[in-house]
Amino acid sequence: MPSNARRRLFRGAAVAALVMARSAAPLRLAANAPIVVNSAADFPAADPAVGVCETAPGNGVCTLRAAVDVANARSGADTITFDASRVPNPTMFVLTAGSLHILDDLTIVGNGAANTIIDGNANATHDRVFLISGMLKVSLSKMTIQDGVSDFGGGIVAGSPAEFGHLSLSEVTVTGNVAGTAGGGIFVSSNTVLVADRCTITVNNAGNGAGVDVEGSSSAIIRSSTISYNKADQRGGVWVIGSAVITDSTISNNSSNSSAGGIEVDGSLDLINSTVYGNNGATVAGGLLVFGTVHAYNATIILNNSLGGGNGITVDPAGSASMANTILAENFQSEPFTFSDCSGAVLSEDYNAIQTTTGCSIFGASSHNTYADPQPNGLNDNGGPTATAALPAGSFAIDGGNPSGCTDNLGATLTTDQRGFVRPVGGRCDIGAFEYNSPGPPTPTPTMTRTPTKTRTPTITSTPTRTPIRTPTRTPTTTPAAATRTPTRTPTAGATGSSFFTLAPCRVLDTRSADGPLGGPALAAGATREFTIAGRCGVPSGAKAISVNATVTEPTAPGDLRLYPAGTPLPLVSTINYRPHQARADNAVTRLNASGSLAVHCDQPSGTVHFLLDVNGYFE
């Protein structure tokens, strides 16, 4: 068995044992009134079964650990908040009895990352800060999570090998955590969706994936966040084995002793309106190392470095990468010093700024690429939630983007840059994540609301809503009938202008089954088959794209599969690559056509391959 496969089997078994060992079924109660923490001490609840948060009968002392105990004992979702009059800002909640183990749906709202600090006390407890087990929906916001230690997920580990969970982080700082094996800050285990919004993940350490580790059957949506100064033996900032969409974010100054400094992708990554800056990969690939699939849209990838080459992006022969309206410049090899932006084959979707192509092959649409340095400034606070690299006056990247409009992974037009500032300015969007001379955030669009009065004369009031809308304006209520578990449609903002809804994993097609629309025969070399996905496994007719796990098995020849909307041109970038007789799975987000159909093209020289597709969410 290959070493990577052995490592992943070991990791999966280790995490499974950890979660199962710590997931005894708690007592359930019907009550679920809000729980308010009023003490910074770390004592458990005296009797969680009575539904009262107190550390001794009648003392009224509610610690954070006692609050979690009570929430675990109740049926249904709970909310924990902090009484600022009893635990003044700032307060550090130092854990003395190990991690906080969440076993039921829970929301914890702090008083701000600078005010509510949850400290794992690693030297004393030798444990992580949060362990989240099972098919749960957990939301953590406005807090700092620090000083945890474990083999997996020093700050947070979330997921269960047999169940499907959802973790939301908002305005959370994850810092100073350590993982011996993987996921220093956050370890996203099996079957889990992570949504991180306006978060800072910094100065964590690990053997692998010091900032965030997204495992093979999991996915992450990271937006308006900073992942910086994390350090690992391998894969310094982010390790994507599953799938990820990173939007409006900065990945900067991460480092590793080998492998990628910024991001390693073994699964799939969409990088949108984001900056990859100043990462160090020691021996190879300072910025991105690609064994899976990467698509970059209006990204800025600059000043990444290592002792070897390909420091902006290195694409392994088994991987694939594409970029549109993207800056790839000023990346360098440090000894001897030479500019080195890319290595391997990179698909151009045009309107890119690439300083040097030494060591790499640029193919595809490239007639509007500019092969020079657009000279972006260094990383700085230019407004918005994250640091960005501004374009200087006179840079050819200004108004250098696609005149038809810069778009995201779903083809939606980007109407803001990484900062959330208006784009385009001057008729065409700029190349990269920063829009020069933008006046700022979009002007709020008034929504007319009728307020009845006693005289029945309506009063028109103006309610501002930000454009583009990153939160869905309607509350979906449909329960998909075909899913294996009854899922709740939980919208989260994904790519610009879209909303993501999670589903319980459901197999929608398997060519090993009897011949039929969603079954056999096996895919044939050079052939394309179309599958109607809408209406199955909880995917509605209005879905624009689906989040899937794609599996190939029994290929008779080397090749790749390309998933794309039925009836549209064949893409040049593969979704999953494979060798003869290899079984391989990968996560991806793929668009559907207006009828909800997907095309799958088999690109191999001869023979056949079987294809399985499991859906775990959709964009609408």
Per residue in 234-276, pLDDT (tens digit) is: 999 999 999 999 999 999 999 998 889 999 999 999 999 999 9
- Domain assignment present for 480: no
pLDDT in tens, 559-595: 889 999 999 998 877 788 787 887 777 777 888 999 9
Residue 18: the pLDDT is 37
d(Cα 131, Cα 532) in Å, to the nearest integer? Answer: 39
Whether 571 and 433 share a structural domain: no
d(Cα 102, Cα 118) in Å, to the nearest integer? Answer: 15
pLDDT bucket at 141, cuts 50 / 70 / 90: very high
460: helix, strand or coil? strand
pLDDT in tens, 35-56: 999 999 999 999 999 999 999 9
Whether 8 and 66 share a structural domain: yes
Residue 564: the pLDDT is 93
- Domain assignment present for 596: yes
Residues 6+ apart with CB under 8 A from 566: 530, 592, 593, 595, 597, 598, 599
The residue among 492 and 229 whose pLDDT is bigger is 229
Q: With 80 as the cut, is the pLDDT of residue 478 above it?
A: no
Whether 200 and 251 share a structural domain: no
Number of compact structural domains in the chain: 3
- Domain assignment present for 456: no
Whether 98 and 3 share a structural domain: yes
Residue 92: the pLDDT is 96
- Domain assignment present for 468: no
Whether 388 and 293 share a structural domain: yes
Q: For position 530, which CATH number holds?
A: 2.60.120
Whether 117 and 214 share a structural domain: yes
Q: With 60 as the cut, is the pLDDT of residue 459 above it?
A: no
pLDDT bucket at 447, cuts 50 / 70 / 90: low
Residue 93: the pLDDT is 97
pLDDT in tens, 482-515: 323 233 333 444 433 457 788 877 899 999 999 9
Closest C-alpha among 209, 188, 211, 193 to residue 201: 211
- Residue 352 · residue 343 · CB < 8 Å: no
Whether 152 and 209 share a structural domain: yes
Whether 217 and 326 share a structural domain: no
- Residue 118 · residue 131 · CB < 8 Å: no
- Domain assignment present for 241: no
Whether 250 and 211 share a structural domain: no
Residue 445: the pLDDT is 63
Q: With 90 as the cut, is the pLDDT of residue 350 above it?
A: yes
Q: With 80 as the cut, is the pLDDT of residue 129 above it?
A: yes
pLDDT in tens, 158-197: 976 556 689 999 999 999 999 999 999 999 987 899 999 9
Q: With 70 as the cut, is the pLDDT of residue 351 above it?
A: yes
Whether 212 and 271 share a structural domain: no
- Domain assignment present for 448: no
Residues 6+ apart with CB under 8 A from 4: none
Residue reference for tokens 């989040």: 547
Residues in the chain: 620
Residue 446: the pLDDT is 63
The residue among 100 and 617 whose pLDDT is bigger is 100
Q: Which two tokens stand for residue 246?
A: 């990173």
pLDDT in tens, 309-336: 778 999 999 999 999 999 999 999 877 8
pLDDT in tens, 396-442: 999 999 999 999 999 999 999 999 999 999 889 999 999 999 999 99
Residue 161: the pLDDT is 56
- Domain assignment present for 461: no
Domain that holds residue 320: 246-255+267-442
Q: With 70 as the cut, is the pLDDT of residue 555 above it?
A: yes
pTM (predicted TM-score): 0.74
Whether 503 and 372 share a structural domain: no
- Domain assignment present for 474: no
Whether 116 and 148 share a structural domain: yes
